[in-house]
Amino acid sequence: MADVVAFRKEEPGGLLLREAKGPVLRLTLNNPPANALSLALLEALASELDAVASSKETKVVVIAASGKVFSAGHDLKELTLHRADSDGGRAFFERAVRLAADIMLKITRLPQAVIAEIDGLATAAGCQFVASCDLAVCTDSSTFCTPGVNIGLFCSTPMVALTRTAHRKQALEMLLTGETIDASTAKDFGIVNRIVPQQYLRQVVDKYASVIASKSPQALKIGKEAFYRQAEMPLDAAYDYAVGVMVENMLARDAEEGIGAFLGKRMPEWNED
């Protein structure tokens, strides 16, 4: 059964549900009806990601959502209420947007792989969530958009993740038009890895998670960090950096064990420390 990691009294089910099954941790957004990223939900997510970063048991994190909407992004009603603050809402806006940006960075910097499981609409910061995860699997009825331009608020922070995931012109198409794209287009744009029928979504995501969790946690940590770092470097610098990473990785215990197991035709025994 899913454990509650954050809650409000009016929502006894909790804003964020936590389900640990072996090496896979599933975090489910549970803020109906649109899974808006309220400050309370963002704080719960930040706390959970901070905790899992040092976990030796968790090897893969899945971010899913309850209901028919993956996430509608920032809670606009909550933000609007703070326009009545003495500063017009500036401090609260800064706090909420900065926290969301920090969570996207936490996802990228986690040593574990993070998979987004999408069934429904992912819009604005919800789309940013999808783009920030390492992998994304969605149903064939899922849709995506960055509609801020439609309400006079350009999706600047979602833009950061989107332009590092989608092709540049496709990212700009979404940002400038605010139009919704279907799952097939999202896959063409590079936002999602796989599209599956709704009834198979959890099964496919669990398979991804199981396969990744079977690998060396040491190699996954080294590789994920290297992937994001080299992606921002010029080609020559990226190769220089990757050469150093590969040499250090070759000297690591798990690489020695893995290569030895391959040559000896046996299953490797990874170092869990």
Look at strands 113-118 and 143-145 and give their pairing. Answer: unpaired
Q: What is the pLDDT, as a whole number, of residue 42?
A: 97
pTM: 0.91
Q: What is the DSSP code (8-state) at residue 129? A: H
Task: State residue 12's pLDDT score.
Answer: 42
**Strands 121-123 vs 143-145: parallel, antiparallel or unpaired:** parallel
Q: For residue 154, what are its two tokens?
A: 């350009």
Torsion, Cα of 29, 130, 78, 82 (10° steps): 140
CB 35 within 8 A of CB 51: no
CA distance 109 to 72: 24
Model confidence over 59-117: pLDDT tens digits? 999 999 999 999 999 999 999 999 999 999 999 999 999 999 999 999 999 999 999 99
C-alpha 250/C-alpha 38 separation (Å) is 44
pLDDT at 273: 64
One-letter amino acid for residue 69 of the chain: V
In tens, the pLDDT along 50-66 reads 999 999 999 999 999 99
Q: Rounded to whole angstroms, how far apart are CA atoms 154 and 178?
A: 9
Q: Do 46 and 16 form a contact (C-beta atoms < 8 A)?
A: no
Q: Which long-range contacts (CB under 8 A, 24 or more apart) does 246-254 make?
A: 248/222, 249/219, 249/222, 252/218, 252/219, 252/222, 253/218, 254/216, 254/217, 254/218, 254/219
Q: Running along the chain, 273 residues long, what does each successive block of 10 average in pLDDT? A: 37 80 96 96 96 94 97 96 96 96 96 97 97 98 97 96 95 97 98 97 96 95 96 95 95 92 93 73
